[in-house]
A and B are shown apart, each in its own frame.
Chain A
């Protein structure tokens, strides 16, 4: 289960050097690729938009409708599937336009007026009232309807797009290979030329009777080395030191799980949540504000949003993880929390998720999130790394004592507006003759502050 990347520092160093060498050779290449990719996606996107615009043009502007839909309707409605309210795709076929206008502007009034259709749907959806939107003009409603009446984007189209992308990159690869081939060819040609020149010169020398002087036979180099005791001594000292250095380095990383990236029971992507959707970390990890634990959010927190998000948008899918993959992971959440998306009810059958803990601080060290998050105002990323980019979370910091202490030595205590620090700061800054106090000066590197 435990998968650790970059465990050994030596192998890491080797890898680094190789990477360094190859950087130059592939740098230009990568740039080419990237450029091509972006243009490809842009084209696809604009193409799609154009097609959609064309399809919905008789009702209104689907682009404007999308904006309105997301801000007003998306909490309860989805275009293609039922949510808190019914799916809206095809609604213009089911109802006439005037009815829709009056329903959207004030559904309660319509129901109260005794409209048969209105009452039927009100009762069908468990008498959940839809809020009134008197601010919407008829043309706004038209825009929204234009948006929801767009044909459902076909899944094969997405695959096709991906394939096209793959071909595109494949084409780039060919051109690189050609350049490489040419280079190899040129090099080989050069070697051949050199060899031939050398041979020709020797032939000339033979022909003109010049005797090339033989090199006097010297001792083989290894023998000379062995006989030179000083050199042996120096090099063995160097070898020993090197071995010691690397052995120490190896031993020091024992138990340091930097880069630990276990596979979790549900593939939860911080990239999607914290990165793409900009969800504040402490929305889910709320106990980081008040507790020593940041807390793994309980599943009811997930359900705050995922009650209405049963599938990811097609854009969320990456090359590595398809939309189907992500949707299956959301289904895992539903299974664990006992939610039936079809009937939109909880079955009561709960299966707690056994997450694999990534950051394992030993029991002997006390760490309190709220001290760092609420009092010091440190960003989560400071220790946890670019969490908003992580598809699978890994341990970013070594979590060694040295790492803690370094930070405590370098970081100034945030005292602004905190009455607790007022007197202490005044006295201590006078004592140390400084304006800003580090955590260490405040007593943050005393052993007993973390070990008890």
Chain B
């Protein structure tokens, strides 16, 4: 049960004699202030020419100068509109529904704009098609203000006007000697498809090649051969009771992502039931971390698992040649699937057509209502064989003109070298791009395209779900949409906006354009038919060929960077990976046993920062050198993982040029590869927040139980409130009699509480980025993160625990009888790091009613509000940091530097463009003050004010924090507990509810819901 389990964040903590862990537990600030560096050095002091008298003179002068300077205030100018747009009221936010469709992330979003500039992305709750507003989508607003964007059209690096550009390219296309090829991202846009057809008709010799940087080709092929359409099956996990994942990271970017909200719904135990999730995977993925049972297995084993699973489910076979423990898991999974019937589902993420087909067949055999092949997803259209053919054609000179849109093939193609050679043979290369990159460097013509927040579009998520993209700001630069340019070149005088309206003139049914544009989403049938003949792929995928020595590499896209389009986005770079908790890097993940065999080390240095060895990864003669290694608990032995999307150098600020480029290893667009790994010299310094902000060695942070106990036992068994002895009677610490504090009266007006459900939280990190953008949280950079000075107000702690409790281990050890049994049973006491269970726990300021920070502040800069917030008054703070020291949850962050307008921190707050994303309602904190989660008081105050102005009471669900609004899983619920019938009140009275470190008696206003695992085997 909860208290018996040992939780750990890092392998280092399993080492009982680790001095680092000890230090970190005892000290709030791991590093001493280097006083000795500047005072202790006697020789430098003596050699200094500044005498004591001089020093005093300087001090006196500067004090006087500073006070004189303070007398004269600066003159501030206010420039109103000449003609104010009707809907813009300065100081009031406007919201517009739009859609992101960058070829990797597709989601319907709500854009918050202030004074005409987008500052935040939110979920569009009207969207029936849940296509995940994930961390990257939340951060995409900052990419709009990227300084490395292409600002105007260019020919051979020379800035030109659009007229000249059109003239030159127009004549080049007319005289193209060979095919004109459009190499584009997946637009998933009916209007664009129609437009490209028209463009082809105009020029005749046009070919359209769709290229997905991270391919789902195998699944597309499998689906196509089975159902005749080139699409991906859709899944609604909220209908699932048993989920078996085989190498499918379906809580992340599998099949285009966005399945996590439905999944989370089934994870909350209701009426004693919740879904059962079994995951077979090699890397420790977000999905595996959330599974009830996770079986580490290499990709080739996974294929065998799927094969066996199919056989077991259909009952055609009862044996497999899998290792015993895996086979056992497969047998159990199969019987559970059979029992669940139509509520069971299998998800396969292997780049293998056979495996994909098996998964679809199992689902069909089960009659699964989770998988939906009738309303299939069309947000991945890439065709690897055509891309390969294109590279060939380019090299043999049959391509006259190449138009690249929304892609960076020079960086992302595995055979980029051949592509670059081919480029030289193509006379006219036009790159339609938002930002400068490797490809735009080589293209003769660079057509500057706007960001999606400046563009029009219609997006088709699945066969019946559509969404509209509308601009929320006038283009910042002299850019023109790809589609507008195509229209122009095909001789159509319409704007793309008119073109979309025209496309949909009859397709909207009984809804009108304005209504649909307002909602952003609608259900319809596509008014455009795409000839599917051109999109068949004849490439086949097979991962059977994994024999021989070496490691099985599983390439993945991580939560922060995805396919790497937004690599110049500091919010994403600084976002710790949910699993490894490392930021600013990609790395090889490796099991402990393999690392030991290779002599690869991970160690924590004195301040808790992580260092790791390098390895070289090679496939044949393709070598990626100096990849740092993180030893990942739960990584299947014999397999390694590596994230795509890093290592870009062109058009990226120096600070953001992180990681290594793994795309060269992405041979034939297969994410599974057989690689050789050898150790390389050197030590890599990670910015890993794993050991930062530990809870001082206090236990009982996580409460966890199993579904069986949850259903059968009383709450006080599995969710025990700590007790103290009062007059020799054990009394719960929450009862008022043992409270030595006077309490505020919070019964009047709103009293805010936040509930976090550990069952529904998948650790996706959307809340972290939402908090970043809502609260102007600064980015501090890799070095500072390494020094444990990250500024995230909201962190998602990831805890590991061993599969079986330590008590179970102890019992087993004591019951060992005789040598024979000891040999076998000791073997079963596995290394805890081999396959740990994972819990994610978002931690922000707990807003304690008895806040320890408030009592120690010498200047009363942190005080308590009647609404339950622990308020932090930046202008009052003098920076003693006592509060951070006294905080049991370690949620306070200190501004060691001024992070805005400081060249040392050259991120978005250091340039005018990037600062446009700042939320005008929240202060940008100065150097030397503490900051922390404010429970988004600016948002609650706004809600209250709106109600006051309209003279009404506030309904439940109106109050939101940035994190609770960002969480589409419903893991975070925010509200007013004084409001009877509020959802938050229900959560507060839930049996699963507990407070963090309850026995400290801080009475937090943030509560957690005990994690329940479904360990039921059939």
Residues in A lying within 8 Å of B, measured CB to CB:
1-2, 7, 254-255, 257, 260, 262, 287, 290-293, 295-301, 336-338, 350-357, 360, 362-366, 368, 370-371, 374-375, 417-424, 427-428, 431, 442-443, 446-449, 451-452
Q: Do A291 and B78 have beta carbons less than 8 Å apart?
A: no
**Contact partners of A260 in chain B: CB under 8 A:** 73
* B973-1000 vs A, Cβ < 8 Å mask (1 yes, 0 no): 0000000000000000000000000000
| CB-based contact A452/B934 at 8 Å | yes
A364 and chain B: residue at smallest CB distance: B875
Docked Cα-Cα span, A423 to B871, in Å, equals 25
B529 on interface, CB distance cutoff 8 Å: no
- Chain A residues lying within 8 Å of B622, measured Cβ to Cβ, are none
**Are A353 and B80 neighbours in the complex by a CB distance under 8 Å?**
yes
Cα–Cα, bound, A7→B749 (Å)? 42
Across the two chains, which residue of chain B brings its CB closest to A413?
Answer: B948
Given A355-B78, A451-B871, A290:B866 Cβ within 8 A: no
Tell whether, in the assembled complex, residue B79 and residue A355 are in contact, meaning their CB atoms are under 8 Å apart. Answer: yes
Instruction: Give the contacting residue for B934; candidates A1, A362, A448; CB below 8 A.
Output: A448
B951 close to chain A: CB less than 8 A: yes
Q: Given that A1-B75, A293-B90, A375-B948 are known contacts, is A299 also in contact with B83, CB under 8 Å in the complex?
A: yes
Q: Evaluate contact between B749 and A443: CB separation under 8 angstroms.
A: yes
User: Whole-angstrom distance between the alpha carbons of A397 and B77 in the complex?
Assistant: 20
Instruction: List B contacts of A290 (CB < 8 A).
Output: 89, 92, 949
A297→B748 CA distance, assembly (Å): 39
Contact at B90–A295, with CB atoms within 8 Å? yes
A selection of 20 A-B contacts at a CB cut-off of 8 Å is A2-B72, A255-B73, A291-B90, A295-B91, A298-B84, A337-B83, A352-B79, A352-B80, A354-B77, A355-B80, A356-B77, A363-B924, A364-B874, A364-B923, A375-B949, A420-B948, A443-B866, A449-B937, A451-B923, A452-B934
Q: Are A420 and B953 in contact (CB under 8 A)?
A: yes
Taking CB atoms, residues of chain A closer than 8 Å to B941 are: 449
A447 touches which of B83, B89, B863, B922 (Cβ 8 Å): B863
Residues of A within 8 A of B78 (CB): 296, 354-357
Residues of A within 8 A of B77 (CB): 354-357
A-B contacts besides A354-B79, A448-B863, 11 pairs, CB < 8 Å: A2-B75, A7-B71, A351-B82, A357-B77, A357-B78, A370-B949, A375-B945, A431-B745, A443-B866, A446-B866, A452-B938
CA–CA, A427 to B747, complex, Å? Answer: 9
Q: Are B953 and A423 in contact (CB under 8 A)?
A: yes
Min CB distance, A360 to chain B, in Å? 5
Tell whether A371 pairs with B81 under 8 Å between CB atoms, given A363-B923, A418-B951.
Answer: no
Chain B residues positioned under 8 Å from A447 (CB to CB): 863, 865, 871, 873, 876
How far is B79's CA from A410's CA once the two chains are assembled, in angstroms? 35
Beta-carbon nearest neighbor of A365 in chain B: B875
Contact partners of B1009 in chain A: CB under 8 A: none
The answer to whether residues A360 and B79 also contact, given A419-B953, A447-B873 and a CB cut-off of 8 A, is no
Known A287-B92, A370-B949; judge A448-B937 contact (CB<8 A): yes
Interface string of B437-455 (1 = CB under 8 A from A): 0000000000000000000
A397 vs chain B, min Cβ distance (A):
16
Separation in Å of the A369 CB from the closest CB of chain B? Answer: 8
Complex CA–CA separation, A300 to B938 (angstroms): 32
Q: Quick one: which of B70, B78, B953 has the most chain A CB within 10 A?
A: B78
Asked if B952 is an interface residue, CB under 8 A from chain A, the answer is: yes
Check B921 for interface membership: any CB of A closer than 8 A: yes
Q: Which residue of A lies closest to B867 (CB)?
A: A443
Hey, what's the 0/1 contact readout for B376-390 against A, CB within 8 Å counting as 1? 000000000000000
Known: A287-B91, A298-B80. A254 touches B871 (CB 8 A): no
Closest to B92 in A: A291
Q: If A299-B83, A355-B79, A451-B875 touch, does A292 touch B867 (CB 8 Å cutoff)?
A: no
In this complex, what residue of B is CB-closest to A289? Answer: B949
Note all chain A residues with C-beta closer than 8 A to B951: 417-420
Instruction: Out of B91, B938, B954, name the residue touching A420 (CB < 8 Å).
Output: B954
**Cross-chain contact B866 with A287 (CB below 8 angstroms):** no
A260 to B140 Cα, complex, angstroms:
43
- B72 near A448 with CB under 8 A, answer no
CA distance A332 to B545 in the complex (A): 80
| Given contact pairs A2-B75, A366-B921, A295 touches B871 in the complex (Cβ within 8 A) | no
User: Which residues of chain A have C-beta atoms less than 8 A from B835's C-beta?
Assistant: none
Q: Are A419 and B952 in contact (CB under 8 A)?
A: yes
With A296-B78, A298-B82 as known contacts, state yes or no: A448 contacts B873, CB within 8 Å: yes
Residue of A nearest to B115 (CB): A293
With both beta carbons as reference points, the residue of chain A lying nearest to B869 in the complex is identified as A448
> Least Cβ distance of A24 to chain B in Å?
35
Task: State in angstroms the CA–CA spacing of A297 and B81 once bound together.
Answer: 8
Chain A residues lying within 8 Å of B949, measured Cβ to Cβ, are: 290, 370, 374-375
Q: Are A446 and B75 in contact (CB under 8 A)?
A: no
Report the bound CA distance from A290 to B953 in whole Å. Answer: 18
> Hey, which chain A residues are within 8 Å of B863, CB to CB?
446-448
Q: How distant is A147 from chain B, measured CB to nearest CB, in Å? A: 35
- In the bound complex, what is the Cα–Cα distance between A19 and B515 (angstroms)? 67
Q: Which residue of B lies closest to A296 (CB)?
A: B80
**B774 → chain A closest CB, angstroms:** 11
B538 CB-CB contact with A under 8 Å:
no
Residue of A nearest to B76 (CB): A357
Cβ B922 vs Cβ A452 within 8 A: yes
The residue from B83, B867, B945, B947 contacting A298, defined by CB atoms under 8 A apart: B83
Contacts of B83 in A (CB 8 A): 298-300, 337, 350
Residues of chain B lying within 8 A (CB to CB) of residue A417: 951
* Interface pair B90/A287, CB less than 8 Å apart: yes
A320 to chain B, nearest CB (A): 24
CB pair A297–B866 under 8 Å, yes or no, is no
Cross-chain contact of A299 among B70, B80, B872, B923 (Cβ < 8 A)? B80
The 8 Å CB contact of A356, one of B75, B92, B922, B948, is B75
A299 to B80, CA, bound (A): 8
Q: Which residues of B contact A366 (CB under 8 A)?
A: 921, 938
A296-B90 Cα distance, complex, nearest whole Å: 9
Which residues of chain A have C-beta atoms less than 8 A from B72's C-beta?
Answer: 2
Nearest CB in chain A: distance from B858 CB, A: 15
Contacts of A299 in B (CB 8 A): 80-83
How many angstroms between the C-alpha atoms of A287 and B84 in the bound complex?
12
Q: How far is the CB of B794 from chain A (nearest CB, A)?
A: 16
Closest 10 CB pairs of A and B: A448-B871, A291-B91, A298-B84, A298-B81, A293-B91, A357-B76, A364-B875, A296-B80, A350-B82, A292-B91
Is B873 a contact of A451 with CB atoms below 8 Å? yes
Contact code string B40-71 (vs A, CB < 8 Å = 1, else 0): 00000000000000000000000000010011
Residue of B nearest to A295 (CB): B90
A448: B residues at CB distance < 8 A: 863, 865, 869, 871-873, 934, 937
- In the bound complex, do residue B865 and residue A443 qualify as a contact, i.e. CB atoms below 8 Å apart? yes
Contacts of B749 in A (CB 8 A): 424, 442-443
Q: How far is the CA of A287 from the CA of B934 in the complex (A)?
A: 27
Q: Which B residue's beta carbon lies closest to that of A355? A: B78
- CB pair B76–A368 under 8 Å, yes or no, is no
Pair B945/A371 contact, Cβ less than 8 Å: yes
A255's contact among B70, B865, B953, by CB below 8 Å, is which? Answer: B70
Q: How far is the CA of A364 from the CA of B873 in the complex (A)?
A: 9
**In the complex, what's the smallest C-beta–C-beta distance from B340 to chain A, in angstroms?**
48
**Residue on B nearest A1 in the bound complex, by CB:** B75
CB-CB under 8 A from B867, the residues of chain A are 443
Shortest distance between the CB of B935 and any CB in chain A (Å) = 9
Cα A421 to Cα B873 with chains together (Å):
27
B-chain residues with CB within 8 Å of residue A351 when the two chains form the complex? 82
C-alpha gap A368/B948 in the complex (Å): 13
Decide if B79 touches A371 in the complex (CB within 8 Å): no
Check A2 against B73 for contact (C-beta < 8 Å): yes
B79 contacts across to A, CB distance below 8 A: 352-355
CA distance A349 to B117 in the complex (A): 24
Cα A428 to Cα B867 in complex, Å, equals: 14
Most buried by B among A1, A295, A301, A447: A447
Q: How far is the CA of A297 from the CA of B954 in the complex (A)?
A: 32
